[in-house]
């Protein structure tokens, strides 16, 4: 059974993984007959109250909160080995841009959390597929942009697209119900809630992205 690493960044669209995208990723992996291996970095996040959408000033732990989405079945991304995974998927949510990397604050000058960076680089070096959803292509762009110049989705916000292009990657426009496949670099991406108006719309793109990712596994 294929093992697909799912790199989470917390639990909630404003300070962690976008929950719908993460769950629809797990559903698509299971429906494809593969096994999801949930992973997250053991670092702090800045808590956002999702009712008021205000920063609370408090901290939570990314791995502990991501465990909610994984129903407890999750490991520190530091322990993940590229040789034990067939592909990885990064769902979106602001946590991808704020916890997995600093794109949300620093744009193309940002850096990637070291454990996540190592996993992404190891997967790319091993020619194994990487799938990124919503804003998560920013993590891949920062990790691999200069070296591989991947083609990625990021929605249609000009500033964000410019940020992606500034990493050496290229933004490709694509509707939420579809995905973009960079066959040279084995990188799949879909805009999900960067563009989607509904969960069903995001789900269609995620389902296609996961299917395409699994088909790229050699």
Residues that are catalytic = 134
Q: Does 1 bind a copy of itself (CB under 8 A)?
A: no
Segment near a copy of itself (CB under 8 A); pick from 18-26, 100-108, 115-123, 169-177 = 18-26
Q: Does 64 bind a copy of itself (CB under 8 A)?
A: yes
Q: Please name the residue that has the structure tokens 């841009």.
A: 97
Residue selected from 30, 106, 157, 173 as contacting a copy of itself according to rule CB under 8 A: 30
Residue selected from 2, 44, 46, 68 as contacting a copy of itself according to rule CB under 8 A: 68
Alpha helices (H) in 5-154, listed in sequence order: 19-31, 62-69, 94-98, 103-106, 114-125, 137-148
Q: Does 27 bind a copy of itself (CB under 8 A)?
A: yes
Q: Does 134 bind a copy of itself (CB under 8 A)?
A: no
Give phi and psi for 88, each to the nearest 5: -130, 155
What mask, x for binding a copy of itself by CB under 8 A, covers residues 72 to 91?
A: x-x-----------------
Q: Does 137 bind a copy of itself (CB under 8 A)?
A: no
Provide the token pair at 39: 């992973």
Over the range 91-129, which residues count as b (16 or more CB within 10 Å of their CB) and which as e?
bbbbbbbbbbbbbbeebbebebbebbbbbbebbbeeebb
Q: How many of the chain's residues bind a copy of itself (CB under 8 A)?
A: 31
Q: Residue 110's closest CA among 76, 77, 87, 135?
A: 135
Q: Does 6 bind a copy of itself (CB under 8 A)?
A: no
Q: Which is nearer to a copy of itself, 13 or 138 (CB)?
A: 13
Residues that bind a copy of itself (CB under 8 A): 11-14, 18-20, 23-24, 26-27, 30-31, 49-51, 53, 63-65, 67-72, 74, 198-200, 203
């Amino acid at each position: 059974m294929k093992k697909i690493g799912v790199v989470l960044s917390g639990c909630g669209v404003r300070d962690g993984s976008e929950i719908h995208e993460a769950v629809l990723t797990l559903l698509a992996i299971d429906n494809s007959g593969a096994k999801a291996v949930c992973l997250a970095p053991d670092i702090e996040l800045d808590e956002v109250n999702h009712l008021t959408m205000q920063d609370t000033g408090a901290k939570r732990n990314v791995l502990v909160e991501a465990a909610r989405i994984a129903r407890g079945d999750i490991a520190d991304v530091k322990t993940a080995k590229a040789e034990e995974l067939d592909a990885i998927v990064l769902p979106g949510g602001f946590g991808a841009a704020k916890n997995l990397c600093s794109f949300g604050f620093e744009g193309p000058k940002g850096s990637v959390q070291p454990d996540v960076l190592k996993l992404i680089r190891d997967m790319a070096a091993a020619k194994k597929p990487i799938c990124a959803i919503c804003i998560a292509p920013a993590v891949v762009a920062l990790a691999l942009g200069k070296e591989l110049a991947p083609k990625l989705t990021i929605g249609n916000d000009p500033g964000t697209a410019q940020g992606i292009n500034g990493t050496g990657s290229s933004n490709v426009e694509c509707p939420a119900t579809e995905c973009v496949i960079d066959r040279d670099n084995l990188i799949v991406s879909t805009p999900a809630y960067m563009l989607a108006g509904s969960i069903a719309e995001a789900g269609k793109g995620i389902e296609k992205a996961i299917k395409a990712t699994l088909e790229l596994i050699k």
